[in-house]
Amino acid sequence: MSFLQTEIITHSRRVCSLYKRSLRNIEAWYDQRPMFRYRAVLLRARFDENKNVKDLRVAQQLLDEGEKELFSQIHYQPRQFPHSPGGVACGREVIPPDWVLDYWHPMEKAQFPEYFARREQRKKEYVEWWEKTYGKPTEPAH
């Protein structure tokens, strides 16, 4: 995921993002479920107070103030999902590339005969497609 902004983010998306980040921040501060729910209801009420603001300048000012308030109250060690970037399990599961199966021992391949027969057929089809699309590889001159 890129961190460079490549598209215009609408005001409503920015407000939703601020709400979600604020909710996650409250979740990080309050471990007890009743206290978290109380704070979440108060947060939702604050957002609902200003949902009918029609003047975009006022709405933008409210959004900027909300961003500053969230920045000032951000948790020192925010919660992160395990498989998200920065989480404890991020990148832990390594998915091996397909070519690793070519180096299996024939006895290992014999345990899955239908899979490897289909795999060999698909490899032949891929080679045919490649040669039809790009031509046969040329021999390098020595």
Per cent of the chain over pLDDT 70 is 96
- Within a domain: residue 81? no
Q: Considering the domain boundaries, does residue 80 fall inside one?
A: no
- Per-residue pLDDT of 40-91, as tens digits, reads 999 999 999 999 999 999 999 999 999 999 999 999 998 888 988 888 898 8
Domain count, the chain: 2
Residue 90 domain flag: no
Q: Higher pLDDT residue, 131 or 5?
A: 131
Claim to verify: residue 60 and residue 108 sit in the same structural domain: no
Q: What is the pLDDT of residue 6?
A: 82
CB–CB of 100/119 below 8 Å?
no
Kind and range of the H or E element at 41?
helix 33-49
Q: Would the pTM count as exceeding 0.75?
A: no
DSSP single-letter state for residue 93: S
The DSSP call for residue 85 is T
What percent of the chain shows pLDDT beyond 90?
A: 75
Length of the chain in terms of residues written: 142
59, 102: one domain:
no
Q: Quote the domain boundaries for residue 54.
A: 11-72
- Rounded to an integer, what distance in angstroms lies between the CA atom of residue 101 and that of residue 111? 13
Helix (DSSP H) and strand (DSSP E) numbers for the chain: 5, 0
| Contact assessment for residue 18 and residue 66, using Cβ atoms and an 8 Å cutoff | yes
- Domain end among 72, 87, 110: 72
Q: Which of the listed residues 20, 54, 72 is the one where a domain comes to its end? A: 72
